[in-house]
Every structure is written in C-alpha cells, then in structure tokens.
Amino acid sequence: MTQPPVLFRLQGQSLSYGDRPVLRDIHLTIRQGERVALLGPSGAGKSSLLTLLYGQQAALSALYPQSAGLVDLLSAYQNIFVGGLERFGTLAALWNLVRPLPQARREIEALAQTLGLEDQLWQSVDRLSGGQRQRVAIGRALYRRQPIFLGDEPVSAVDPLQAQLLLEHLLAQHETAVVSLHNRQLALDNFQRIVVLRDGAICCDCPASELSEQALDSFYAEELSAPEASADVGPQGMIPSC
C-alpha cells in the first residue's frame, strides 16, 4: 500500500529568538490527510512550530494564528474577504472596499450563516465579542479555500458545544489539519494523532487512540511544579512517554 505524500517534514529543527531557545531538535513528519492536534502548556513552542509548518506549505495552507490579526476598523465581511484576496484582481479587491462584490458577498454570507455571524457581518470587528472575533478569523481561514488548515487555538473563546461544532466544520473543510488546542478532550475526540510539546521539544507523538485525558494531564501537571529555570535543563528524561 502506498502512503500519502509527505506535506511537512522537520528534521532536527531548532529555533531561538535572540538567545532564548524556543524549539529544539524537532523531528516531525506529517502526511496528506492527517489530522494532528498540538498540545502542551503555554510557552511550549506550539505557535512557533505552527509558523514553521506554515512556511513549508504557505501556498496550500489556511492559517489561523493565535492573535487572529483582524483589522479592527473593517467589517466582519471585509475581514473574511481578506482570506480570498488571492482569487480576485487588485482592482476588484479595491472596489470591494467601496461596495462588496456580488459573488464574494454571496459566498461570505453563506459562510457567515454556518459560523452564526449573519447578524454581525456588517459590523466593524472592534465592536464584536471575543467569540465572535474568533469566528470571523475562522471565516477568513475558511475563505482561503485551501486543503491544509493550520490553527493556533482557533476555538479557545467559544463555549464547548460551539467549539466542537466549529472544529468539526473546520476538519470537514480541510483534508489535512494541524491544530493546537488547550482542551484535551476536544483533541482526543476529533484528531487521530496527538503531538505534545514541552519546553520547545516534542515529548509525545502518538495516535489519539493510545492516549487518555488523564495521561495527557500529566504533561501539564509536571509544569505546575517545575521550576522556572527548567527551560535550560532539558527535562526529557523525566517525562512520561508512550
């Protein structure tokens, strides 16, 4: 049986900002069609890893960065439209700021319906709640219409039920997905493969079926008691692995 092609490959990748190491010696291969959840305490390097991955497949990826990077002054519609800018000519895109293009308007209104944003579509996003802003940013990623979804905490600001629905929708729209999450149960329920990061290194990379929420908790529990300086010590040895 032939394996699907490799989309992302990192071999011993390290990264640091100034003299502060962020990622160290990352080995990771992700193939087409895989659904990968990234877990780990905050500051573990999940966002940096996602940025690295994005660099490898920028043309095929729909990105959801943690800050969402919305433009406050523009309406939800315009913010979502930014995702599709590539598909429109420059003049058409500029005209769209003055008067929404009919085609884009139809598409984005449909998208807003699925995201529950139909009432907020023409408001500027600075007037929206955190959850609504998050859905606008998801809309921008969806409107990219790419086969790969790279998401950094895309459902952190919505209630659990809505999070589950949004995640299902995102996964249904994208063939391949790498998503960082802080909700362990969501990860176990929706993804086949789970990668746990700690202090910039991968400490666990295995199928979701082999993990439980309790097992995952242990990665976070250690963090609470770990001293601040542990970033420099290289704690791999004491971490449970599967």
Partner 1 sequence: MLSFDRRSSVRTLNGVCLLLLLLALLALFGADLQVYPVDPWHELGRIGRGLLLPAWDDFPLLLQALGQTVAFALLAVALAVPLGLVLAMLFHWRGVRYLCAAVRSVHELFWGLIFMQLYGLGALTGLLAILLPFAATFAKVFAEIFEQQAPEPGLAPGPRVRGLKRYGYTLIPQAWPALLSYTRYRFECALRSSAILGFIGLPTLGFHLETAFKQGQYSAAGALLWAFLLLIATIRYWLRPRLIPLYLLLALWLLPQTPGFSNGGYLWRFISVDIWPAPLRAGDWSGTLAWYSQMFTEQVWPGLVQTLLLTQLALLLTGALILLFYPLATRALAGPWLRWGGRFLLLVLRSTPEMIFAFVLLLLFGPSGLPAVLALALHNSGLIAFLVANASDAEQGSRLTRPDDPRGLLRYAYLETPRRFPALLAFLFYRWEVILRESAIMGILGIATLGFFIDSAFEEIRYDRAMLLIAATAVLNILVDSLSRRLRALARTDAQRQPGLIDPPQKRSPKQTMTRNTEPQNG
Considering the complex, state which of residue 149 and residue 219 has its C-beta at the smaller distance from partner 1: 149
Considering the complex, state which of residue 122 and residue 160 has its C-beta at the smaller distance from partner 1: 122
Site map 167..186 versus partner 1, x via CB under 8 A:
--------------------
CB of 39 to partner 1, least distance (A): 22
- Distance of alpha carbon 180 from the chain centroid: 5
CB of 237 to partner 1, least distance (A): 27
Alpha-carbon distance 213 to 208, whole Å?
Answer: 10
Considering the complex, state which of residue 115 and residue 203 has its C-beta at the smaller distance from partner 1: 115
- Is residue 129 exposed (0-12), middle (13-18) or buried (19+ Cβ within 10 Å)? exposed
Does residue 94 interact with partner 1 by CB under 8 A? yes
Alpha-carbon distance 144 to 83, whole Å?
Answer: 5
Query: Can you tell me whether residue 168 is helix, strand or coil?
Result: helix
Of 61-69, 170-178, 193-201, 225-233: span binding partner 1 (CB under 8 A): 61-69
Q: Which of 31, 56, 60, 82 binds partner 1 (CB under 8 A)?
A: 82
Q: Are strands 61-64 and 201-207 parallel, antiparallel or unpaired?
A: unpaired
CB of 82 to partner 1, least distance (A): 5
Q: Where are the alpha helices (DSSP H) in 145-212?
A: 160-173, 184-190
Does residue 93 interact with partner 1 by CB under 8 A? yes
Chain residues 117-156 in contact with partner 1, contact rule CB under 8 A: 122-124, 126-127, 144
Alpha-carbon distance 165 to 123, whole Å?
Answer: 24
Alpha-carbon distance 185 to 213, whole Å?
Answer: 6
Does residue 221 interact with partner 1 by CB under 8 A? no
Shortest CA distance to 226 belongs to which of 81, 41, 61? 41
Does residue 92 interact with partner 1 by CB under 8 A? no
Q: Which of 6, 42, 97, 221 binds partner 1 (CB under 8 A)?
A: 97
Does residue 57 interact with partner 1 by CB under 8 A? no
Does residue 72 interact with partner 1 by CB under 8 A? yes
Does residue 74 interact with partner 1 by CB under 8 A? yes
Alpha-carbon distance 55 to 71, whole Å?
Answer: 23
* Identity of residue 4: P
Alpha-carbon distance 85 to 164, whole Å?
Answer: 28
Which residues of this chain interact with partner 1, rule CB under 8 A? Answer: 17-18, 20, 51, 54-55, 58, 61, 63, 65-67, 69, 71-75, 78, 82, 85, 90, 93-94, 97, 122-124, 126-127, 144
